[in-house]
A and B are shown apart, each in its own frame.
Chain A
Amino acid sequence: QLQLQESGPGLVKPSETLSFTCTVSGGSISNINYYWGWIRQPPGKGLEWIGSIYYSGIAYYNPSLKSRVTISVDTSKNQFSLKLSSVTAADTAVYYCARRTMTTRGEGNWFDPWGQGTLVTVSS
Chain B
Amino acid sequence: DIQMTQSPSSLSASVGDRVTITCRASQSINNYFNWYQQKPGKAPKLLIYAASSLQSGVPSRFSGSGSGTDFTLTISSLQPEDFATYYCQQSYNTPPTFGQGTKVEIK
Contact = CB atoms under 8 A, between A and B. Distances in A.
A108 B55 CA distance: 14
Interface string B79-104: 00000000101111011111111000
A37 B22 CA distance: 26
Contacts, number: 68
A47 B34 CA distance: 13
A108 B33 contact: yes
A49 B32 contact: no
B53 A107 contact: yes
A26 interface: no
Chain B interface size range: 20 to 34
A46 B42 CA distance: 13
Contacts of A107: 31-32, 49-50, 53
Contacts of A109: 32, 91, 96
Interface of B: 30-34, 36, 42-46, 49-50, 53, 55, 87, 89-92, 94-101
In the A-B complex, the 6 residue pairs with the closest CB atoms:
A108-B32, A107-B50, A108-B91, A114-B43, A112-B46, A47-B98
